[in-house]
Amino acid sequence: MAWVRYVQALKRPTEGMIYAYPVLKPQGTRTEEILLTASAAPSLTQYLVTTSELNPVYRQLRDAAWAQAQASGNFVPDPRLLANLDRARSIPARGRFVLVDSGSQLLTMFENGQAVDSMRVIVGTNELPTPLISSMMFYVTYNPYWHAPDHLVRKTIAPTVLRQGMGYLKSRGYHVIDEWSENPKVIDSATVDWKAAASGKTHLFIRQDPGPMNSMGRLKFPFPNPEGIYLHDTPGKGLFGKQVRNLSNGCVRVEDARRFGRWLLGQDPVAPSDEPEI
């Protein structure tokens, strides 16, 4: 469906990129690898043309850095620039890909080297930052469940249950389940020690049903990665009006999930039914 890439404005140049597939890693970085690959190409001319075609992100970073160096007279490159140039090398020059820039909190859609659309996003906090990931996206999920992170169960859900009672869970569509799986067993919330859950002594699995209150909204955009990160819709549209939008638990909330889904699918993202997780 689409190639997905996260590039973040970094303070720590050593922070690593997660490549979900080996093919997404920068290829042929050693001199001997470059020479061997070139010599094995059916056409050296075509190979040079193809490899010299830069993706727009790399080209913009390089050109901006060179212009700044010329203007200042300082030609010692910033380690953060070198780190991001290295990460940007694997972005394709052609085809379609998505770039989520956590620094500016923007998502940009590219087609054949040109930016065709963009929208605001909400990314991870300083404590729970959105990691740097390069992956592939193959499908969307309609009517997703939301699985509450441990820290939100402790800090928000359990204390609110203690104050407001079980009606809070029902109003939000929350259920305590026995495990993260496709067919978990629902546990009677009245049997839960909510004080222990709020203190962190008891670990709970809490799932939220699809619907207007669901933190995932109506659409989820998953892609393989070891950190459990994905893009998703959100009912909290007012937060996109903030200038600084590092407010999530690591996943990326998109401003207009329907428009993004339409670009990915080539048609309106309409759920085939009201069933969860389809």
Catalytic residue list: 232, 251
How many whole angstroms separate alpha carbon 252 and alpha carbon 249? Answer: 9
Amino acid at 155: K
Helical axes 56-72 vs 79-88, angle rounded to 10°: 160
Collect contacts of 22-26 with beta carbons under 8 A, ≥24 apart: 24/90, 24/134, 24/135, 24/136, 25/90, 25/134, 26/86, 26/89, 26/90
How many whole angstroms separate alpha carbon 192 and alpha carbon 178? Answer: 12
Quickly count: other Cβ atoms within 10 Å of residue 141's Cβ.
Answer: 19
